Amino acid sequence: MNALEAISLSSFYGAQKVLENFSITVAPGEFVTLMGPSGSGKSTFLHVATGLVRSAEGQVLINGSDITKMSDSKAARFRRRHIGVVFQAYNLLSTATVEENIVMGVKLDKRPIDKKRLSYLIDKLGLGGLEKKKPDEISGGERQRTAIARALFPEPDLILADEPTGNLDIKTSKDICSLLSEIGKTEKSAILLVTHDPVVAAAAKKVHFIKDGALVKSIETCNDAALVSKAYLETYS
Is the alpha carbon torsion for 80, 188, 209, 20 positive or negative?
negative
* 169 in a structural domain: yes
- Give me the CATH number covering residue 8: 3.40.50.300
Q: What pLDDT is stored for residue 57 in this prediction?
A: 93
Which residue type is seen at 137?
E
Strand order in the sheet with 4-13: 16-26, 4-13, 57-62, 65-66
Looking at residue 176, what is its pLDDT?
83
| Inside any domain, residue 174 | yes
> What is the number of domains present in the chain?
1
In a domain, residue 140? The reply is: no
Q: Which helix (H) or strand (E) holds 98?
A: helix 98-102
Average pLDDT across each block of 10 residues of the chain; the chain has 237 residues. List them in order.
Answer: 95 87 94 92 92 91 94 92 90 96 93 95 94 96 94 93 86 83 82 91 94 95 95 93
- Looking at the domain assignment, is residue 131 inside a domain? no
Report how far residue 117's alpha carbon sits from residue 104's, in angstroms, rounded to the nearest whole number. Answer: 14
Q: Is 70 among the domain residues?
A: yes
Q: Is residue 144 part of a domain?
A: no
State how far the Cα of 81 lies from the Cα of 147, in Å rounded to an integer: 16
Position 171 scores a pLDDT of: 84
In a domain, 133, yes or no: no
Q: What is the pLDDT of residue 188?
A: 80
- In terms of residue numbers, what domain contains 168? 4-92+157-236
Q: Is residue 107 part of a domain?
A: no
